[in-house]
Structure 1
Amino acid sequence: MNVSDQRYESSALDHVLILAPYRKDADYLGRLLRDHDIGVRVGTQADDLDELLAASPGVLVATHEALTPGIIAAVAGHLQAQPSWSEIPIVVLLDRASRPEQVRAELGRVWPRARLLFYQRPVTTVELASGVQSALLARLRQRDVRDHIAKEIELRRELNHRVKNILASVTSIFEMTRRGATSMDAFAEDFRGRLGALDKVHSAVFRSEGDSTSISEIAQLTFDPYLLHGEDRIVAHGPPVVLSREPGTTLALCLHELATNAIKYGALSQPKGQVRFNWTLSDDDEPDLAIVWQEQGGPVVEEPTRAGYGTRYIRSALASIFGTKPLIVFDKAGLRCEASGPFSRVAGQPLTHGRVKPE
């Protein structure tokens, strides 16, 4: 098919393909649509029709003379290959001597997946341009439906993924808490607290724009229950740093375990005890993120004979997000936990609205 040198909109579905074997008809229709700011491609022969159809025209305009068996079959094949959301509009310009009902019936049979519009020539310029523009609008609405369906499918997949992850986390927390519990009351208290920590950070992530949250907000949400009578028993400090969802959730659970351990056995079990949680970013082109948990003012620390749930979880969880094992030191003056790794492993999208500022 000879393609005339017409303006072609590269955006899929936004141009019109004109099928007209007579050059006079092709030039007239192309000029008419261009005058109404409609992108067009024009073919006058059937040789390259498959290529032109593959360019995903938004609308087909075919003269009566173009309805040859070869073109009808090629268009039928294109329609058959359409995705489920698509119903391409086809504008057919019938000649004065044609039998409209017969043509309508035959094209409706061979092109069942098309939105057919028929005009009897001669047709006014305004009428034809308006019909093509309406057809393009209908096509664009079909594309909107396609995008909506694709987005809905993606959201369902993401929801399924998140639900599975949450259920896996809850199952893991339940099993580890059960193995370490000494009584039903102790189990209920620990399990409730760990689920609360998980809930808080998930709430923070969903309140944020996108799938990110700041370390400062994670720290505030996790430590708020331990700030009694205005006393800052846990002091958090660090630069503005934003984490993606999964590292943020993991860090929150680790901080919850450290805080719970400090209340039961460490610095927060004593009136004057205190915890400092700091995070830093190196100045390198590819910076490292480092976190430090340091307790002081508590009872003399003794290394346990066996690692409990909290210690095992912290070691495993921090290693998974930073790529290296954390350092947990049972120093007599106070427990110390350090972890570091490439910031690129945990980085989230920058937040675009106000968040909790670091101290």
Structure 2
Amino acid sequence: MTAPDPDDLSALDHVLVLAPYRKDATFLGRLLEEHDIRVEISTGIDDLADRLATLPGVLVATHEALTPHVLEAVASHVRSQPAWSEIPIVVLLDRASPNIRVRAELSRIWPRARHLFYQRPVTPVELVSGVQSALLARLRQRDVRDHIAREVELRRELNHRVKNILASVTSIFAMTHRGATSLEEFAEDFRGRLGALANVHSAVFHAVGENVTVQEVADLTFGPYRLTGEDRISSSGPAVMLHREAGTTLALCLHELTTNAIKYGALSKPEGRVRFEWRVSDEEPREFSISWCERDGPAVEDPAHAGYGTRYLRAALTGMFGQKPVIAFHPEGLRCEARGPLSRVNGNP
């Protein structure tokens, strides 16, 4: 028998019966199932370990079942329990047995179990009520388990995000430092790039499913550069969801293109305009493409050497789309186009 995943929500919701003599197991199984309690029956020590591995909510054992091998198998299971677990064990004692000594011994052998003792004959109502209460306690333990697992996952995610953010900030610092010619220029560029990064992280944080739309990225990135009553940067395209990494990369690339246009390109002149568009093809496999187009700015010349900003755009967009972008220095304005599989950037399930 293969042990289930300990985080499987189906675990901890059934009763394991260990009653090897007479028809005790059959009687207990029928009694509990009549009250909608799922039951598994162990046939003996040979299958007990596998049955315990299914993570029963409650173990019900008759006095006769408590052989030395069974005691050790259950003790091993109890010792291996995680911190949140305390398996309830219902023991049906014989009237003539030394009950005080038995209870003391089981408490010693199974210290991390919740013991419930019933002396036979026990009424069906009393037994069923006790088992139901034990199962309820077990399900509450499962809630604690799930809460702990979620908290651990959130801590890991937080640690991962902090590392990624610090890596991004370090990269932005290096990029800005290499391209700056003065402390004032460095401070302005660094502040702008950090703002673009922060805006996208905020959008992703508030979005459902940790995704963000291309339109949200564009609006957040272009917002600081749009003047009241005058929109010199237009953006349009279909509704496309991006996962967190793609959204952050696109925001930084758009910020780089925008600041470059303000310094040297179309946005350096009052009449200059920028058009940012994105499309999704209808054919399978579907392709996602973006286009940045500047016009009515100063005449553009193809630089003799690519600056750091251009090198960054090429590297970042290649990583995002899986193939190199086209960056063209047309006399009438800079053009930047990139395309790749939609599945590579899409934040939809």
Q: Normalising by the residue count of structure 2, what TM-score does the alignment of the two structures yield? A: 0.94
Paired position in structure 2 for 1:240 = 239
Helix, strand or coil for the counterpart of 1:293?
strand
Aligned residue in 2 for 1:294: 293
Encode CA deviations 1:46-102: one digit per residue, 9 max, x unaligned: 332223222221110111111121221221222223333322110011111122221
Cα separation, 2, equivalents of 1:51 and 1:284: 51
1:11 is aligned to 10
* Equivalent pair of 1:211/1:349 in contact (CA under 8 Å): no
Give the Cα–Cα distance (whole angstroms) in 2 for the partners of residues 331 and 269 of structure 1: 16
Deviations 1:123-143 (A, max 9, x none): 222221111111111111222
Task: Give the Å deviation of 1:246.
Answer: 0.3
Partner of 1:93: 92
C-alpha displacement at 1:148, in angstroms?
1.6
Partner of 2:254: 255
- Provide the residue aligned with 1:127 in structure 2: 126
Q: Counterpart in 1 of 2:103?
A: 104
How many Å apart are 1:213 and its aligned residue? 0.4
Partner of 2:272: 273
The size of the alignment, in residue pairs, is: 341
Check the 8 A contact 1:300/1:334 in 2, yes or no. Answer: yes
- CA drift at 1:285: 1.7
Task: Tell me the alpha carbon deviations over residues 157-184 of structure 1, each in whole angstroms, 9 at most, x when there is no partner.
Answer: 1111111111011111111211211111
Q: Distance in 1 between matches of 2:43 and 2:217?
A: 65
Cα deviation, 1:242-265, whole Å, max 9, x if unaligned, reads 100001000001001101111111
Aligned to 1:51: 50
How far, CA to CA, are the matches of 1:310 and 1:230 in structure 2? Answer: 30
| 1:285 to 2:284 alignment | yes
Partner of 1:143: 142
Instruction: Give the match for residue 341 of structure 1.
Output: 340
Counterpart residue number, 1:20: 19
* Distance in 2 between residues matched to 1:227 and 1:30, nearest whole Å: 73
- From the superposition, tell whether residues 193 and 44 of structure 1 become closer, same or farther in structure 2 (CA, over 3 Å): closer
Q: Residues of 1 paired with 2:330 and 2:148: CA distance?
A: 57
- Which residue is 1:219 aligned to? 218
| CA distance in structure 2 between the aligned counterparts of 1:43 and 1:176, rounded to whole angstroms | 66
Secondary structure of the corresponding residue to residue 328 of structure 1: strand
Shift of 1:36: 1.0
CA distance in 2, matches of 1:167, 1:47: 54
- Supply the distance in 1 between the matched residues of 2:346 and 2:210 (Cα, whole angstroms): 11
Take 2:156 and 2:192, find their aligned partners in 1: how far apart are those partners? 29
* CA apart distance, 1:34: 1.1
Secondary structure in structure 2 of the residue aligned to 1:291: strand
- Unpaired segments ≥5 residues, structure 2: 1-8
Partner of 1:264: 263
Structure 2 residue 169 is the aligned partner of structure 1 residue 177? no
Q: Distance in 2 between matches of 1:235 and 1:228?
A: 12
CA distance, structure 2, for counterparts of residue 63 and residue 325 of structure 1: 71
Contact 1:21/1:65 (CA < 8 Å) preserved in 2?
A: yes
SS at match of 1:13: coil
User: Deviation at 1:187?
Assistant: 0.8
Q: What is the CA deviation profile of residues 296-350 of structure 1, one whole-angstrom value per residue up to 9, with x for unaligned ones?
A: 0000011223322321211110010001111110110000001011111111027
CA distance in 2, matches of 1:193, 1:40: 63
> Percent identity among equivalent residues?
70
CA distance 1:46–1:180, shift in 2 (3 Å): closer
Judge conservation of contact 1:23–1:44 (CA < 8 Å) in 2. no
Q: Give the whole-Å Cα distance in 2 for the aligned partners of 1:310 and 1:201.
A: 20
Cross-structure match for 1:205 = 204
> Per-residue deviation at 1:27?
2.3
Alignment of 1:110-121 (within 5 A): 110-121=109-120
1:47 aligned counterpart, secondary structure: helix
Alignment partners' CA distance in 2, 1:316 and 1:222: 20
Deviation of 1:113 after TM superposition, in Å, equals: 2.1
* Separation of aligned partners in 1, 2:181 and 2:26: 88
Q: What residue is the counterpart of 2:307 in the other structure?
A: 308
* Two-structure CA RMSD over aligned residues (Å): 1.5
Report SS of the residue matched to 2:253: helix
Contact 1:17 1:59 in 2 (8 A): yes
Moved over 4 A (4+): none
Deviation at 1:284, TM superposition (A): 1.6
> What is the DSSP-based 3-state SS (H/G/I as helix, E as strand, rest coil) of the residue aligned with 1:210?
helix
* Deviation of the 1:44 alpha carbon: 5.0
- Corresponding residue of 1:156: 155
Partner Cα distance (1:152, 1:58) in 2: 23
Match of 2:32 in 1: 33
Q: Is the 8 A contact 1:22 1:44 kept in 2?
A: no
User: Is 1:77–2:73 an aligned residue pair?
Assistant: no
